[in-house]
Amino acid sequence: MIEITKENIDKLFAKLDSDTRKSSYFLNPDSDFTRELVEGLIANESRYGYQACPCRLAAGDRNEDIDIICPCDYRDADLDDFGACYCALYVSKDIAEGKTTAQPLPDRRPVKREERPQFREKKVGKGYSELSHPVWRCRVCGYLAARDEPPGVCPICKATKDRFDRFM
C-alpha cells in the first residue's frame, strides 16, 4: 500500500509533469495547489487501490469509479470548455502560461449511474467487418488503436486497457 509521504508526492508529481510534457497536456502552474491534489491522488490510491479523483466522492469499487480515475473521462471536455479539469489539476496552455487562472467549474459527471461512460450502451461503428483489425477508442482522450486488443496503457493519456471501448 502506497503511503502519503513527501517522497511519494514528489515522485508522482515528477511523473505527471513528465507525462504531460510529452503529451501536450499541462499541469496547473500553481505548484502548491497541484501538490495538494497529487497528495489527494496518493491518499485515494492508498485507500481505494487506484487514483480516484480527489474532488469527487469515490465508491471504492474500481468499475463504479473507473470514469473518475485520474485522468477522468471528463477531463478533455472540461479543458475544451473551461480551460481546466474539474479539480484544476490539468489546465489549458493559457492558464499554464499564467495568462489567466483556473476557476472552479461545475461537475459534468452524470448523476445517474447508467449515463456514465462505463455503463452507457456502446454503439460499434458499422463497416468493421471490412477492416483488417478492430478499432479501440480510449474513453479518456479519444486515442484510436487498430489492433486485435486495446493497448495495455494508452500512449497519450496513460489510461489503462479497461478504459477502451470497441469503436469499429
Q: Can you give the binding site for another protein, defined by CB under 8 A? A: 33, 36-37, 39-41, 43-44, 54-58, 87-88, 104-107, 111
In the bound state with ligand SF4, the residue whose beta carbon lies nearer, of 71 and 83, is 71
Residues 49-88, one symbol each (x = binds ligand SF4 by CB under 6 A, - = not), give ----x-x------------x-xxx--x---------xxx-
Residue 63 burial class via C-beta count within 10 angstroms: exposed 0-12, middle 13-18, buried 19 and up: exposed
> How far is 3 from 6, CA to CA, in rounded Å?
9
> How far is 4 from 25, CA to CA, in rounded Å?
25
The owner of cell 469499429 is 168
Amino acid, single-letter form, for residue 64: E
In the bound state with another protein, the residue whose beta carbon lies nearer, of 101 and 160, is 101
Is 26 near ligand SF4 (CB under 6 A)?
no
Cell (9 digits) for 11: 515522485
> How far is 93 from 113, CA to CA, in rounded Å?
32
In the bound state with ligand SF4, the residue whose beta carbon lies nearer, of 12 and 85, is 85
Residue 68 binds which one of another protein, ligand SF4, none, with CB within 5 to 8 A depending on kind?
ligand SF4
Q: Shortest Cβ distance from residue 8 to another protein (Å)?
A: 14
Q: Shortest Cβ distance from residue 18 to another protein (Å)?
A: 22
Subset of residues 93 to 122 that bind ligand SF4, contact rule: CB under 6 A: none
Check: CB of residue 88 under 8 Å from CB of residue 132.
no
Q: How many C-beta atoms surround the C-beta of residue 55 within 10 A?
A: 17
Residue 107 binds which one of ligand SF4, another protein, none, with CB within 5 to 8 A depending on kind?
another protein
